[in-house]
Structure formats: C-alpha cells, structure tokens
Chains A and B, each alone.
Chain A
Amino acid sequence: MRVVRKSGRRAGARDDIDRMFRLVERLTSVGAATSALEQLSVAHTLDDRGLLGWPVNRTRLLGLNRGAGKQLDKVLGYPRYLGVLRLRMLAGMGLVAPVRARRKRAALLAGMVGTGIAQNLRSNYGLDGSDHFAFINYTSAMVEKLFPDDDRAAREFVLSFIAAQSCLSYFTSGVVKLGSPMWRSGTAIDGIFRTRTYGDRFFYRLFRDYPPLAKLLAWSVIVAETAFPLVLIAPKPLARAILLAGMGFHVGNARFMGLNRFFWSFVASYPAVAYFSRALGRTDRDR
C-alpha cells in the first residue's frame, strides 16, 4: 500500500486525508453492509422467540428498561429492528459506492453509527471485535466530517485515532499472547483449531500430528501482532510486509477460523496506519 502526500497538496474535500477516510469508509462498509444483509437473510433469528429476542436481551441493562430506555421498543422490537438493519445495509452500500461529497458521506456515516449503537444495545450476543472496530472507524470518519476541509490538523488527528486503535489492538493481542504459556508452547493453536466454532478439521489434524508447526504458528502470530506498530517507523519494504502480513492473517482467519467480518473492519484501518507510517505515508515531513 502506498500513500503519498504531496508537498503541494490542496486543502479541501479531495485531499490526501479525505482519500484515506474514503478507503476506511469503503472497506469497513463492505463488511458492515454484507453483515446487515446476512442478518436480514435469517431475520427469524432476531424475533422474540429466539436467543437474540429483544424482550429477554433488554433485561441485561437497567437503563434499557426505564426512562428513555422504554422508548427503545420502537426501534429495537421485532420486526421494527429489521428496519434498522435495512437502513444499515443501505447506508453501508452508499458508502461503498463512489460517493465523494462529504455531506452525503457524513449522513451515511451517521446512519452507520446510529445503527451500530442500536445493534449493540439490542444484544451483545453474536457481536465481535469486527463490530467494535467498525464502530470506531465510522464514528471517527463521521466526526472528521464535522470539521472544515481546511482544518487539516483536526482531521488528521481523527485519522491518527484510527491508526492508534489499530496498533493498540494488534499490540495488545500479541503481548497478552506472549505472556500466555498456552501460546508460547503452541498448545493454544491446536486447542483453537480443534473447535468447530473457530477451528478447522484439516489444520487441527496437522497441528496435532506436528506440534512444532503449531508452535511455529503461535510464535509467528505473537511476533507479528506485537511488532505491528513498527509499521509506523519501519523502512518501506518492512512496513509494506507488515501490512501485507496483516491482510494475509485476516484472509486466513476468514477462511479457516470463520472470522470473515474481521478482514473488512481491521484492514480498513490500514490506510490510516499507512498515512502515519514514516515510509509509506509522509513524503514531506518538513511541514
């Protein structure tokens, strides 16, 4: 990924910061719109009779049942909640489409933030890190639109927040694994891969029969995740390799661990990371 900031850049909607945000918005939205459509295709799982039924799930927080929370029925009750998902799908598709106007994108982003909050309030069952990162990406992109085009400092600060969350997520995950005996020995790998929820039959057998391979993979994940923030200061070949490895990691997770939604939310943060990478982003550090 190469992100070039030219010295003679122009301020305004179509500047380099805006291009990065458009990438963040579009990539995140491929996953979010697909996810909304997936939920609509199995809409019965959201009705009152199921695991995700609103009447039961609303009891998890007192605030959802008193005061203004009582009004949430109008949005989160079934089948009205399907309207929230339709809105999310349409707003997501709008952001995937080549919409350049910042006001239109701001409105679509507000839709994604609002429906993201609704989704989270309705139930936390079934949500995962991809939903959380999508919320971070959308909220940041929406706030960025509140600032004038020529306020580059403010808009860049918002972009840096996405980059910081991205680095924090990989670094945390790597460091906590480093402190875990299960990860250091590699037993975490065949333990995960033996499950049907997150595993894969072929790889489980492979790692069971060849434990050094499991250990190698475990250490590869530990090192790659912990070292991810180095993308900010690494020379160009290494910085590129880190981002490519990250993409490959998420493709593998999508195929073999069922973590398909993670690819879009997390890779969507890479343009922000690349922007602040010394080798990939800033070609004019003389500002």
Chain B
Amino acid sequence: MISLRGNILRTTARWGMYGAFATWLGLSIFQQADRPHRLALRIDPTAMAIPNWRFFAPRPATFDYSVLYRDRLPDGALLPWREEKFSVDRTLAHTMWHPARRMEKALFDAASELVRIAGDLGDIERIQLSVPYLALLNYVTRQVTHDPAAVEVQFLLAQSAGFDDTVEPRLVFLSDFHALSERGAASSDSPAVTA
C-alpha cells in the first residue's frame, strides 16, 4: 500500500515537473518573438526566468550614455556641468574580474529606459515618477559631490559615439531642478525632454 502510494506520488511529481518545464520552455519560445505571453508577464514580470535572447539584435546599441549634473546656488547662479564617470577602460584582467561592470550596465539600462519612456509618455510631468528618473535623481542628489552652497541640482543624459570622435555628443534628456535635501527650495521648472 505504501509502495503504491509512493509510486503515485512519484509519478505525479514527475508529470508535474514535465508540465512545468514544458510550460517554461513554451513561454520562453513566445518571448523570443518579442510578444511575451500574458502568463509570462504575470508570473515573471521582470523576465528573470523567461528572458529574451535577442542579444544586440535587431538594432544593437551604438551609443554610450553619459550623466552630467550641475548645481544651482541660492542666488540662482548655475555652476558648470560635471560628468560622473561610470565606465573604466577595459583591460585583460577584466576578463576575470570586473567590479565596475554592473554599474556601467546599470547606467546604460537606466538611461535607455528613461529615454524610451520620455519618448512614449504624452504627459511629460509623469516622467518624474518613473523609476529611471528617480534612480538617476537619487544618484546625482545623494552620491556625487556638490558645492557646499548648492541648493538644487539638475542632470542631463548625453548620447555619444564612444571611440568615434566624428560624432558630436547629443543631449537626449534634461531633468528638472530638484532640491538638495533640506537646503534647497522646491523644484520649480518644468522638465525639458529632447528625446
């Protein structure tokens, strides 16, 4: 009797596993057509287990993104733009050990997402509630060095062609001004978005 019950459980577990993995593979195949199945979006909204394997295709990224920021002083004066470097020149050692790589990729992801959302959103005010905007603002507000007297900060995203110096860097997003902690005033201007 125990053995019969064990066999039933074992067979059920095996067929359950077959079904789960077959479904997983089926949803993965759907994902490759760039049309995620509703079930995939529901059970894996971040595409962790059901990824899109279209690496660098059909249109690969051919630009880098840079984050620049500037401070505004209490009298309204603006300090020069400063760039926050995320990338490092690659070396042979990076093949095995590359701690800066995730942040390089994170900036690329956040910047790409922000530019895409800016292009999609009709109401540009709403972009200030988006995750990439808040993440970049969080960074330029709290993790970079500011002038001690600064009360507000503004950031921009620029697109450049990396090693191709025949292409001028291009402004693709300009943020609103935002208060630097309790020192600053409330934000005042509307965001200007160029992409």
Interface residues in chain A, defined as those with a beta carbon under 8 Å from any beta carbon in chain B: 34-35, 38-39, 41-42, 45, 48-53, 56-57, 59-61, 63, 116-117, 120-121, 123-129, 131-133, 135-136, 139-140, 143, 146-148, 151, 153-154, 157-158, 161, 164-165, 168-170, 172-173, 176-177, 179-180, 182-183, 188, 191-201, 204-205, 208, 251, 254-256, 258, 260-261
Contacts and interface: CB of A to CB of B under 8 A. Distances in A.
B25 A164 contact: yes
Interface string B22-64: 0011001100100000000000011111011111111111111
Contacts of B143: 49-50
A151 B14 contact: yes
Contact of A49 (B17, B63, B142): B142
A53 B138 contact: yes
A180 B58 contact: yes
A197 B61 contact: yes
Interface stretch (B75-83, B160-168, B170-178): B160-168
Contacts of A146: 13, 17
B54 A42 contact: no
21 contacts: A34-B96, A49-B143, A51-B110, A51-B138, A52-B106, A53-B135, A121-B46, A125-B135, A143-B17, A147-B13, A154-B13, A154-B17, A161-B25, A177-B58, A179-B58, A188-B56, A188-B59, A205-B163, A255-B92, A260-B96, A260-B98
Contact of B102 (A38, A158, A188): A38
Contacts of B32: 168, 172, 176
Given A125-B110, A157-B21, A258-B104, A51 B136 contact: yes
B24 A172 contact: no
Interface residues of B, number: 62
Given A57-B135, A125-B109, 6 more contacts: A42-B103, A49-B138, A56-B134, A126-B103, A169-B53, A204-B164
Contacts of A179: 58
Contact of A60 (B56, B106, B131, B164): B131
Contacts of A39: 99, 102
A240 B158 CA distance: 45
B170 to A, nearest CB: 14
A41, A56, A164, A251 — most chain B CB neighbours (10 Å): A56
Contacts of B127: none
B97, B107, B110, B162 — most chain A CB neighbours (10 Å): B162
B188 interface: no
A132 B96 contact: no
Contacts of B109: 124-126
Nearest to A44: B143
Interface of B: 10, 13-14, 17-18, 21, 24-25, 28-29, 32, 45-49, 51-64, 87, 90, 92, 94-110, 131, 134-136, 138-139, 142-143, 161-164
Contacts of A135: 48-49
B64 A197 contact: yes
A270 to B, nearest CB: 16
A189 to B, nearest CB: 9
A269 to B, nearest CB: 12
B62 to A, nearest CB: 3
Contacts of A172: 32, 52-54
B62 A176 contact: no
B51 A204 contact: no
Contacts of A131: 48
B99 A41 contact: yes
A45 to B, nearest CB: 5
A51 B107 contact: yes
8 A-B pairs with least C-beta separation = A191-B62, A180-B58, A126-B106, A49-B142, A125-B106, A169-B53, A126-B102, A132-B51
B63 to A, nearest CB: 6
Given A51-B138, A197-B87, A204-B163, A173 B131 contact: no
Given A51-B110, A194-B161, A180 B59 contact: yes
A1 B38 CA distance: 39
